[in-house]
Structures are given as structure tokens and as C-alpha cells.
Amino acid sequence: MPLLKSWIDSANTAVCPFPLNNLPYGVFSTDSTPPRCGVAIGDMILDLSLLEEQRLIEVNYEEVFEVPFWNEFIELGPRAWADLRARLTDLLIEGGDDALAANSELCARALVAQKDATMHLPIVVAEYTDFYAGRNHAFNVGSMFRGPENALPPNWLHIPIGYNGRASTVVVSGTDIHRPLGQLKPAGAEAPVFGPSRRLDIELEMGAIVGTGNKMGQPVTVAEADAMIFGYVILNDWSARDIQAWEYQPLGPFQAKAFATSISPWIVTAAALGPFRTPTPPREVELLPYLQEPAPMLYDIDLEVRLRPAGGTRATLLSHTNYNEMYYSAAQQLAHHASSGCEMNTGDLLGSGTISGPTKDTRGSLLELSWGGKEPLTLDSGEIRTFLEDGDTAILSGHAQGDGYRVGFGDCTGTILPAVTPPDWTK
């Protein structure tokens, strides 16, 4: 599909992340307006609450865009999703319905410069589940701790492994993250101590947002799961590796992951990503029938990790990889999640698991990039890192590359602040 030209000129450049082909959804505010639903187009945000008020867009004759989250619209289902996308395209495309383009007064009110807006969490996150579904990442981490011959657990090639995380600490890009506290067991020590994590890490992931759910007790097929997914965000599953190393047996991550998860501000819809579908990799072990994909359900999305130290003006590129490195698609993850009869709801967020490629410069975590801290990284500033220091800003970004256009997500960023230590925490 070629670039769709808009009458908003900034949307028509080859490197713009928000062309008419994209139309991602977010929640924004300005100095004069409270948080509300909007769509990114070029370097602007189109205020959907105002268009709804002016009756330029109508969805099932319900008012769903004046609220500071997309859940009410999302739960209307695929027909409403398609209708809104078609209507917005008609209003914004060159030569389309000029009800907005020809009204200069309305344009001045409805189009807000992104640089003048504050972005907010685009959905109320109902539940959060994180998976461990990237083969390269799982092999790297397993090799560090168990050796390459035992890197993958016996179930890994048969099942998308996951755990239930915390929806309460999912935050939008730009939110500062306090270094977490927890129990740590230093090497050679007989007992743990309590204090700030010293091995704080990022995990480069994609997040899938569930649009329509299933009823408790009713599994779904992979094809049905694919149709249930509304859209995708870039996700950083911040990880305290030293806390995790002590707590994870036998039940897996807990406090090491619960303190924060960051997502990019714009939801890129499954419809916008349709032209970039790609199959999952060849199977080393045949999957059980309920997990087999009837069609390509992964996406070709280029991803990068950058790190900017405190006071720095330049961020160092640490890694570049692609979402197509995943072993299990989001549809397979969702189908497996519901296979027990687990009820999935509008606004559920599924983390893909860390996305790493086969080479060092394509690894999606500092744990892998520094190989457990044994191979320090040198930033462009000359500073050395194995894990995150206070003041560091992690910047995760990505886009799908089309014919003369890009479909982007906006950066997923977060800056590490010192731990908040209660006065009596050492007692």
C-alpha cells in the first residue's frame, strides 16, 4: 500500500511516524483542555472529543471520546473500529470530505500541535500479563544461568510462558521511574539484605491491547484471538535482576517486575499494521493444534533501544531488532491465555516478552547486552554501563516501514530516579 496523502502537509513526509496510513489513538491534554481522546496525524493531534461534539464523527450514536481513555470506544467492537478509521480517513485525506478541511475556525480548535500537548495513558489497563516468548532472549538468559545445553525449559517450545503482572503500575511514556527496593542476596552471603536494586534493567517488548473479550469458561481459537486484538504499543518491562534472582523460585517474577511497566503513548491499530503481517518462525517442535496459526499473525516492526545518561544531550544506540524475531505471536499468546477458560476483557494488556535478535547488537535487555554484567557497555559519552544508573533515560522506539511512509508508535521513555527509602527501612 502506498502513502495516503493528507491535506495536513506534515503527514506526507517519508519519515513521519504518523501518516494517514497510521491514525494511532491516544489521550492528550493542553494547558486549556482536560485529557481527552485524540488521533495523531503528522505533527498534530486531532481532537476527537471536539469532532464528536460537532457531529463530524459519530460512533453508534454514543459519545465516547470526551473521556480520558479509549476503553468505551474499544468495547464497541470491530465494526465501530472500522467505521471510525474510515471516517477519519475521509476527513483527512486529500480530496475527501472537506467538512473539516474547509472550516478554518474548526481546524484551529480541533488540531493541536503535538509539541504543545501532554500525553496520558491511552487506556484504563484492566489486567496485565507478561510473556517470555522470544526464543533468542530465552536462550540467552537460560545460557547464562544453566548453560546452553539446558537454556530452554522443557515446556518452552510447546507453550507461550507467561505470568500475571500489575496493571496498577503501567504508566505512559515520559513517566519517571523510581529505582525499586527489595530483598537482595549478595554472592556468598548467607542471608538477604533489603535495599535498592543494583541491577536495574529494561526489556524491549511490544504490548497487545485486547479489544473484545471472551466469557469465562469459553476458549478462543488463534484466529478469533487475532480478531480480538485492538492494537499495539511499545512496552518497556522494567526489571530488577537482583531482586528477581532471589525471589523467582518457585513461582517466577514478583516484585522484580511489579514496580513499573512503561508503554508508548499511541495505540497503533491492528488495521494500520495489516500490511506488515509476517509469519512466526519455523517450529522446532510442532505446536498443539489449538496454538497453530492459520495465517501470518506476527508483524515486521523495526525496534531500537537507546540510552541517555544524566545530563547528556545524546542518546547511545544500544540495540536494533525486529518484532518478527518473536517465537509466538500475540494472537497465540491470547489464545493460550484464554485456553483454560480465563476471561479476557477490554483493556487487557499482553506484553510480548523481550524481543532479541541473534546477534549482540540486536539484544533487547542490558542483561543480555552486558552478558550479566561481565561485558560492560561504553556509551557515546565515554561512560560505562552494565545496568541502569540513576538519571539514565531509556528510549525505546519502533516503526513499520511501508512504501514511502512509516507507521510509528512514538517513543517509550523513562528516566530512573533514586529509590524512595523510608526512614526506618534498615531497622
Is residue 262 in some structural domain? yes
End-to-end CA distance of the chain: 63
113/150 same-domain check: no
**Residue that is last in its domain, among 79, 95, 120:** 120
Catalytic-labelled residue, pool 137, 336, 337, 399: 137
Q: What is the mean pLDDT of the chain?
A: 96
Is residue 422 in some structural domain? no
Q: Which residues pair with 322 in a beta bridge?
A: 302
**Residue that is last in its domain, among 100, 120, 140:** 120
232/132 same-domain check: yes
In this predicted structure, the answer to whether residue 36 has a pLDDT above a threshold of 90 is: yes
Expressed as residue numbers, the domain containing 21 is 9-120
Q: What is the pLDDT of residue 145?
A: 87
251/274 same-domain check: yes
Supply the CATH number for residue 348's domain.
Answer: 3.90.850.10
216/137 same-domain check: yes
Over residues 208-223, mean pLDDT:
98
210/347 same-domain check: yes
CA 153 to chain centroid: 26
**Residue that is last in its domain, among 120, 139, 162:** 120
Over residues 239-250, mean pLDDT:
94
217/324 same-domain check: yes
Q: What is the pLDDT of residue 61?
A: 64
In this predicted structure, the answer to whether residue 425 has a pLDDT above a threshold of 80 is: no
Kindly give, in sequence order, each residue whose CB lies less than 8 Å from that of residue 363, ignoring residues fewer than 6 positions away.
Answer: 136, 137, 140, 319, 321, 356, 357, 369
57/139 same-domain check: no
Provide the number of structural domains found in the chain.
2
Q: Within a 13 Å sphere around the CA of 229, how many CA atoms are in the beta-carbon half? A: 32
Is residue 382 in some structural domain? yes
Q: What is the pLDDT of residue 422?
A: 75
At 113, the pLDDT band (50, 70, 90 cuts) reads very high
Provide φ and ψ at 233, rounded to 5°.
Answer: -135, 160
Retrieve residue 343's grid coordinates.
476471561
On whether the pTM is more than 0.85, the answer is yes
Q: Write out pLDDT tens, residues 184-204.
A: 999 889 999 999 999 999 999
Q: Write out pLDDT tens, residues 48-71.
A: 999 999 999 987 767 899 899 999
Cell 531509556 locates to 394
In this predicted structure, the answer to whether residue 426 has a pLDDT above a threshold of 60 is: no
Is residue 74 in some structural domain? yes
Over residues 122-142, mean pLDDT:
97
272/375 same-domain check: yes
In this predicted structure, the answer to whether residue 137 has a pLDDT above a threshold of 60 is: yes
Q: What is the pLDDT of residue 56?
A: 96
Q: Phi-psi category of 369—alpha, beta or left, where left has phi over 0 and alpha has psi -120 to 50?
A: alpha
At 286, the pLDDT band (50, 70, 90 cuts) reads very high
Supply the CATH number for residue 87's domain.
Answer: 2.30.30.230
58 or 99: whose pLDDT is higher?
99
Annotation marks residue 137 as catalytic: yes
d(CA 418, CA 198): 11
Q: Tell me if residue 77 falls in helix, strand or coil.
A: coil
Q: What is the pLDDT of residue 427?
A: 52
355/218 same-domain check: yes
In this predicted structure, the answer to whether residue 408 has a pLDDT above a threshold of 70 is: yes
Strands 177-178 and 412-417: parallel
Q: How far is CA 18 from CA 1, 143, 172, in A?
A: 15, 40, 18
Torsion of CA 310, 311, 313, 315, to 10 degrees: -10
76/189 same-domain check: no
Give the lowest-confidence range in 56-70, 106-120, 157-171.
Answer: 56-70
Q: What is the pLDDT of residue 81?
A: 97
374/289 same-domain check: yes
d(CA 22, CA 270): 10
Q: Write out pLDDT tens, residues 306-344.
A: 999 999 999 999 999 999 999 999 999 999 999 999 999
365/275 same-domain check: yes
